Amino acid sequence: MAQSIDIYKFLELSKNAPILDVRSPIEFESGHIPSACNMPLFTNEERAAIGIIYKQKGKDLAMAKGYEYVEPKLSDFVLQAQKLAVDGKILVHCWRGGLRSSSMAELFEKAGLEAMLLTGGYKVFRQHVLESFSHNYDFRVIGGETGSGKTEILNCLRKKGEQVLDFEEIANHRGSSFGALGQLPQPTTEQFENIIYDQLQKFDSSKRIWVEDESQSIGRVFIPKPLFQLKVNATCYRLQIPLEIRVNRLVKDYGHFPKEFLLAAVLRIQKRLGGLATQQAIEALENNNLAEIVRITLFYYDKAYDYPQNQRNYKGVIFIPCEDGDNEKNTNLILEIAKNNFEIL
């Protein structure tokens, strides 16, 4: 009989043993343990059909239909599990740690594997994730107007051995109306949270963690409220990069995308830009004047970025004048300021 274990032991064992998530593909896509493999007991269509039978005809007929769906797949399940198992061990879970995972674990045990079940299933993992965000992490924030090179600074910090949590990287989005260009599809907010949790577990929580100054929403996902509040209250190292350097950087980052993509991004913020500025941006795009489009949109984005810090009278903000956009030099400047604990305004 498969052993049931709590979330702490389950996650500890997952460092060496593979996790099999036996929920349907649509459940897995909505959110899953980042290291898990999906081995669905039922397809999305089969799961839906079983649900209908359960509601209309009862539990017994629904279970009979389930067995009908599963029986032809049993040998494949065993072969896949044997290939994935490490030292004959495998971890299994479903949504609540119920019939789906226990049935699969029993099958694997009969095939000679040691299968361990997550008590409470994925639902317990999600509770664990959300509770973990209440930890008082030592966030340090890289700030600066759009085009300041904040992402590049985070990459430099990471190369120097610093702990970096890049929300935009996890979100597959760079934050602005243009932020989805060139990015992979975004995860769900639930999976976004799962990946954040997974990365935080790899850090030394007693040491500082660098993040970018973000709004709570990044495209279609949201930074968990406790972490966002930590970010708001943390020391912000705000880069002051000359406007034209920011313009040139943004032209380089986005100017190679098709015009129709850039136009769509402009139109998404037309209410905030205003009618005149929107028309000017469209005309600049038609004339291939990408730098002018950037200047027009930055007028809006710079005000939007400054507003929340202005509302707090720039409490906790250290302004860092930068001569140029040299990311290495600016990173070293930030680290020197952080090391010496310069007085915060």
Of 203, 204, 223, which is closest to residue 212 (Cα–Cα)? 223
pLDDT at res. 345? 40
| Continuous H helices in 179-289 | 189-201, 225-233, 243-254, 259-268, 270-273, 275-286
pLDDT bucket at 342, cuts 50 / 70 / 90: low
Report, as residue numbers or ranges, the catalytic residues.
94
Q: What are phi and psi of 238, to 5 degrees?
A: -95, 110
Q: Is 41 left (phi over 0), alpha (psi -120 to 50) or beta?
A: alpha
Residue at 334: amino acid letter: I
CB within 8 A of 52, min separation 6: which ones? Answer: none
Q: Is 144 left (phi over 0), alpha (psi -120 to 50) or beta?
A: left
Q: Residue 143 is encoded by which pair of tokens?
A: 């700030």
Percent of the chain with pLDDT over 70: 99
pLDDT digits (tens, 9 = 90+) for 83-124: 999 999 999 999 999 899 999 999 999 999 999 999 999 999
Q: Which domains does the chain have, with CATH numbers?
A: 3-130 (3.40.250.10), 133-340 (3.40.50)
pLDDT at res. 341? 66
pLDDT digits (tens, 9 = 90+) for 46-79: 999 999 999 999 998 998 999 999 999 999 999 9
Q: What are phi and psi of 320, to 5 degrees?
A: -125, 95
Mean pLDDT to the nearest integer, 8-30: 97
pLDDT digits (tens, 9 = 90+) for 288-336: 999 999 999 999 999 999 999 999 899 999 999 999 999 999 999 999 9
Q: What is the mean pLDDT of the chain?
A: 95
pLDDT digits (tens, 9 = 90+) for 119-131: 999 999 999 999 9
